[in-house]
Structure 1
Amino acid sequence: MSTATKLLCLGPADPIHLETRRTAMPRPGRGEVLVPVQATSVNPIDVKRAKGYGRRLLSLKGAGKFPLVLGNDFTGEIVSVRAGVSPWRLGDWATGRLGDRGMGLVPTGKKGGTHATPPTVDARFVRPAVSGLASRAPAALPYTFTTLWLALRGAGINECNAKGRSVIVHGASGGLGQLALQILGIGGASVTAICSTANIELCRNLGATAVWDRTRCRLEELPDHFDAGLNFWRLGR
């Protein structure tokens, strides 16, 4: 591989305008790794940014100018590192030697995203990929999990104090909500999920202690004994 491929968003526009281009191979800077992307994801923030959301603020970070490369998540094989990076077993394109497979994210606001291959990535945001899973499965996890972790932290919930807490999750059948049900269930929390009729069994199977059907019951009728609440409504239903 002597060149890189980028999926550029030409916008801002609706419908979204995308174009694939070949560019020079990037070189990792200090503390970065080079990762040919095997799988990535499309998050709601990507769709919003493609239509112009946050353009003025992100421009202050050098990340709002079009055309731009979207994307936050990735899985891929580590092929190059720079000084200051913990040891990885590197792949080699010339010999076909396989390197360590990593998963991670590029934060929103960084110039250049993961809808490109290979991108350079801050090694602090890379972890060994989950073994035994196809590449696309762990590629859907880093950004969503980080968003959930920040929400839990904001609500004062962590792995040490979740057990026995009563938590309500609004929008429980969406991506963040489903992850929240599982994480809170593992932590021993008692979770009430708010969702539509079609997703009641899904939420129960993911660990909800109780389910509130928002299409049949008024939210005003909910009890108010919860220790914490997570609201992912509009992100998932």
Structure 2
Amino acid sequence: MKKSNLVKVGGIFIKAIVTNKYGPPDVLELKEVEKPVLEDNQVLVKVHASSINYGNLVLLRGEPFLARFAFGLLKPKYSIPGGDIAGVIEAVGKDVQRLQPGDEVFGDLSGSGWGGLAEYVSVPEKALALKPANLSFEEAAAVPMAGVTALQGLRDKGKIQQGQRVLIYGASGGVGTFAVQVAKSFGAEVTAVCSTRNLEIVSSIGADYVIDYTKGKFNEIEQNFDLILGVNGYQPVSAYKRALRPNGIFVHVGGSGAQMFQVMIQGPWISMTDSKKMSSFLQRANQNDLVYMKELLEAGKVKPVIDRSFPLGDIQEAFRYFEQGHAQGKVVITV
């Protein structure tokens, strides 16, 4: 965590989740830390809720190993994890222009020091946007990282267009449930791929067609889709390529390590020698995209799907549950 987030303020302490080494959820501890103070461009947020994303697992375990070059080689660079937050601004620095005390906000802190699994956090105002008026703090905390990942993957990397046939592989998880709804908001025809237990959920959020991957149906698809977003799963790159139409685009957001390696190695070659394009994608925190998601949420075009909520003190249990990979939508932490 940034040094400025741990400066003394008259001996005032807050509760936060702290870890000083990589490992399983057991390394996460609920501790008292000194209340963060403001820098001139920051706002102090009283956090009401946070949520867990894949990036939190990377920060927890330090895997894949290459991630340690960004997060700390031998131990976590940021001692207080937590990217997604929703809460109320308590104070603002003198250079803050758009936000003010009392504003209800939500945001993604992954690009500004993390630290969301705490009662308070100080962050640049560019990491935040006003909370959607029709969402609770818990619902709003489920949105930032997963929602923006879905948006950027479909719109920016996938070049989604109205009327296209879009397939979301791994449609029942955090990113997947947003991707189905975001794709529908662009006017696409959406096919969702998930397991048997999740068929009803993905249908309820607007998927036009649903494929149960446990019954092997995905392997029977031939050149049906203009755009495929691979959010999770273990399918080989060849299966996604076969399912694309000529000039179709596959965007890898998440999945098995073997799948990621295939996309990194085979993707550029396929893209150069074939009309089909295959690439990987890494989400970037972006205030404008957060505002875009806010508008979709307030318009009722997108709604967060929350699987379970855990109190801050049960953070180890929450991460164990999330690591199992079976959550339907998001896992939220109430602070």
TM-score, normalised relative to structure 1: 0.84
The alpha-carbon deviation at position 180 of structure 1 amounts to: 1.0
Q: Which residue of 1 aligns with 2:182?
A: 183
- Percent identity among equivalent residues? 29
State the superposition RMSD in angstroms: 2.3
The alpha-carbon deviation at position 112 of structure 1 amounts to: 4.2
Are the aligned partners of 1:56 and 1:64 in contact in 2 as well (CA < 8 Å)?
no
- CA 1:203–1:23 in 2, change beyond 3 Å: closer, same or farther? closer
The alpha-carbon deviation at position 217 of structure 1 amounts to: 2.9
Unmatched tracts of structure 1, length 5 or more: 91-98
Are the aligned partners of 1:16 and 1:50 in contact in 2 as well (CA < 8 Å)?
no
CA distance in 2, matches of 1:130, 1:15: 31
Instruction: Tell whether 2:37 aligns with 1:20.
Output: no
- CA 1:52–1:16 in 2, change beyond 3 Å: closer, same or farther? farther
Are the aligned partners of 1:76 and 1:103 in contact in 2 as well (CA < 8 Å)?
yes
Q: Which residue of 2 aligns with 1:65?
A: 77
Are the aligned partners of 2:192 and 2:202 in contact in 1 as well (CA < 8 Å)?
yes
The alpha-carbon deviation at position 201 of structure 1 amounts to: 2.4
- The number of aligned residues is 221
- CA 1:198–1:24 in 2, change beyond 3 Å: closer, same or farther? closer
What letter corresponds to residue 32 of structure 2 in structure 1? R
Q: Which residue of 1 aligns with 2:205?
A: 206
SS at match of 1:119: strand
Q: Which residue of 2 aligns with 1:7?
A: 17
2:157 to 154, 159, 179: 154
- CA 1:82–1:103 in 2, change beyond 3 Å: closer, same or farther? same
Unmatched tracts of structure 2, length 5 or more: 1-8, 234-253, 255-324, 327-335
Are the aligned partners of 2:151 and 2:182 in contact in 1 as well (CA < 8 Å)?
no
SS at match of 2:26: coil
Are the aligned partners of 1:170 and 1:231 in contact in 2 as well (CA < 8 Å)?
yes
The alpha-carbon deviation at position 15 of structure 1 amounts to: 4.5
What letter corresponds to residue 135 of structure 1 in structure 2? F
**More helix by percentage:** 2
What letter corresponds to residue 184 of structure 1 in structure 2? A
The alpha-carbon deviation at position 47 of structure 1 amounts to: 2.5
Are the aligned partners of 1:9 and 1:16 in contact in 2 as well (CA < 8 Å)?
no
SS at match of 1:40: strand
Within a 5 Å distance, the mapping from 1:114-193 to structure 2 comes to 114-152=116-154, 153-157=156-160, 162-193=161-192
What letter corresponds to residue 141 of structure 1 in structure 2? V
TM-score, normalised relative to structure 2: 0.61
Misfit runs of 4+, over 6 Å: none
What letter corresponds to residue 156 of structure 1 in structure 2? K
2:40 to 30, 34, 38: 30
